[in-house]
Amino acid sequence: MRVLFVIHELALNGAVTALLAQVRALTAAGTQVTVLAPAVTGRAAALREDFLAAGAAVVARTTAAEHDVAVGCTVFAAEALATLVGHLPLVWWIHEGEGGVEYLVARPAMRQLLGRVDRLVFPGRGTVERVWAGLLGGLPPGRADVIPALVAPPVAGPAAAKAAGRVRVLCVGSIYPRKRQGDLIAAVAALGPAAPVECVLAGERVQLDPAAESLIAANADRFLLPGGLAPAAVQALYRSADIFALPSAEESMPIAPLEAAMFGVPVVLTDLDCYAGVWRHGVNALLHPVADVELLAWSLRMLIESPGLRARLAAAGRMVAERFGPARTTALFAAVLGEVVAGRQVPRAGAG
């Protein structure tokens, strides 16, 4: 099978991380993979080499005749995917939550593509049933599939250096308002100068509110913002972390908390709809309402002061992450591609 993945940019983000993992799995199984993406520069330029090393071709243009099926990655692939309607079987792999819904609601022509592709793929059941339900309601049964993100088992390697005697809180994700990293910065600062904590926010620094910038400046020894990092550097941070926190306002089953959990790091998250049935407060994570800085600070303090709680949540979180392992996810994705190419739908047990 010849698979074309279409993505609007190769960037240091979760969607590209998920794509690279899926490409590695497909090429290892003998699938011919091409990634259609604009040229990249800066730190993200190394991503092209990662895809090439995985056995994929990376191109800036191609023709439908060279492929058996096309997969659009993220809602932002809509325009490119629309040009392939009628030329190839199409799968739309949507990673976004409420932001993706708002993007398509504002663009009726692109929204129509939901009913023109052969299959839609989402990363979580909560995303389909609670976030996207309004746009998917009129589609035929079986059009939307739930395929969890592929989270590879952790590999051995060095841990990133950190200050002695401090508990490291890690956040991975591009820094902009939807991710609400400012809440995490405020929560860490609220712990007070005596708390033995440092906070690393790894991700491209797109936009950070002035209040958060001021807190960083006033507590410079507590915060580290290394920018967007290659996967190997992010893995080194996971190995060094004691707590993972992602205070987003909206998501669609982000991969970073699962990666952190796979490395044995307990997670602190907002109680978003997309996490339903996966992350449970007090069972395998600590959850708090969006924008509740006080409760986020309380969760951090609890974990900082209780190594036992960290260990318990880390063990439970690792069990969650293992549900997203390569074998199951790869089989589900390959099945969808095969069914779309064959022009038929076969019920599969265990999706979601």
pLDDT 10s digits, 333-346: 999 999 999 984 44
Contact predicate 145/336, CB 8 Å: yes
Contact predicate 105/121, CB 8 Å: no
Indicate the residue type of 291.
A
Domains of the chain, earliest start first:
2-150+325-342 (3.40.50.2000), 167-322 (3.40.50.2000)
Query: DSSP assignment, residue 12?
Result: S
pLDDT 10s digits, 54-78: 999 999 999 999 999 999 999 999 9
pLDDT band at 326 (very low <50, low <70, confident <90, very high): confident
Contact predicate 5/36, CB 8 Å: yes
pLDDT 10s digits, 285-312: 999 999 999 999 999 999 999 999 999 9
Q: Mark residue 88 as left, alpha or beta (left: phi above 0; alpha: psi -120 to 50; beta: remaining).
A: beta
**Residue 257 burial by Cβ neighbours in a 10 Å radius (0-12, 13-18, 19+):** buried
pLDDT band at 180 (very low <50, low <70, confident <90, very high): very high
